[in-house]
Chains A and B, each alone.
Chain A
Amino acid sequence: MTQTRLAAADPAGSAAIEVSRLVKVYKKICAVDDISFRIVRGSITGLLGGNGAGKTTTIAMIMGLVLPTSGRIQVLGHPMPQESDAVLGRMNFESPYVDMPMRLTVRQNLTIFGRLYAVENLAERIAGLACDLDLNEFLDRPNGKLSAGQKTRVALAKALINQPELLLLDEPTASLDPDTADWVREHLETYRKTHEATILLASHNMLEVERLCDRVIILKRGRIEDDDSPDGIMARYNRATLEEVFLDVARGRVQAAGDQIEGGQLENNQVGRGREAAS
Chain B
Amino acid sequence: MNGLALHGGLSVHRIGAMILRYWYLLLSSWPRLLELLYWPVMQVVTWGFLQTYIAQNANFFARAGGTLIGAVILWDILFRGQLGFSISFLEEMWARNLGNLMMSPLKPIEFLISLMVMSLIRLAIGVVPMTLLALFLFHFNFYSLGLPLIAFFCNLIFTSWSVGIFVSGLVLRYGLGAESIVWTLMFALMPLACVYYPVKVLPYWLQYVSWALPPTYVFEGMRALLIDQVFRADLMLSALLINAVLLMTSFAAFLALLNSARRHGSLLGGGE
Contacts and interface: CB of A to CB of B under 8 A. Distances in A.
Name, among A64, A100, A115, A158, the residue most crowded by chain B CB atoms within 10 Å (CB to CB): A115
Given A26-B265, A66-B265, A112 B21 contact: yes
Contacts of A232: none
Given A101-B21, A103-B25, A115-B20, A85 B105 contact: yes
A117 B1 CA distance: 9
Nearest to A93: B103
B165 interface: no
Given A104-B28, A113-B100, A65 B267 contact: yes
Contacts of A99: 95-97
B21 A104 contact: yes
Nearest to B1: A118
Contacts of B106: 116
A142 interface: yes
A14 B99 CA distance: 28
A206 to B, nearest CB: 24
Contacts of B99: 65, 95, 97-98
A65 B14 contact: no
Interface string A90-123: 0011010111111110001001110111100000
A67 B263 contact: yes
B103 A63 contact: yes
B96 A65 contact: no
A101 B97 contact: yes
B56 interface: no
B268 A101 contact: no
Contact of B28 (A26, A85, A118, A142): A142
Contact of A100 (B13, B97, B268): B97
Contacts of B9: 85
Chain B at the A interface: SS class: helix
B264 A111 contact: no
Contacts of B1: 118
Nearest to A88: B105
Interface residues on B, range: 35 or more
A89 interface: yes
B179 to A, nearest CB: 18
Interface residues of A, number: 34
A23 B20 CA distance: 39
A176 to B, nearest CB: 19
A104 B24 contact: yes
A117 B20 contact: no
B21 to A, nearest CB: 5
Contacts of B95: 99-102
A202 to B, nearest CB: 13
B174 to A, nearest CB: 15
A57 interface: yes
Nearest to B102: A65
Contact of A88 (B16, B97, B104, B267): B104
A95 B21 CA distance: 21
Contacts of B262: 64-67, 81
A259 B264 CA distance: 35
Name, among B11, B96, B104, B262, the residue most crowded by chain A CB atoms within 10 Å (CB to CB): B104
Nearest to A65: B267
Given A104-B28, A117-B104, A98 B265 contact: no
Contact of B265 (A60, A81, A88, A118): A60
Interface string B49-93: 000000000000000000000000000000000000000000100
Given A65-B99, A66-B262, A115-B13, 16 more contacts: A57-B265, A66-B263, A98-B99, A100-B97, A101-B91, A102-B95, A103-B25, A112-B17, A112-B20, A115-B14, A115-B16, A115-B17, A115-B20, A116-B17, A117-B104, A142-B28
22 contacts: A60-B268, A65-B103, A65-B262, A65-B267, A66-B267, A85-B105, A92-B103, A95-B99, A97-B268, A98-B97, A99-B97, A100-B97, A100-B100, A101-B25, A111-B20, A112-B17, A112-B21, A113-B17, A116-B104, A117-B104, A118-B11, A118-B14
Interface of B: 1-2, 9, 11, 13-14, 16-18, 20-21, 24-25, 28-29, 91, 95-107, 259, 262-265, 267-269
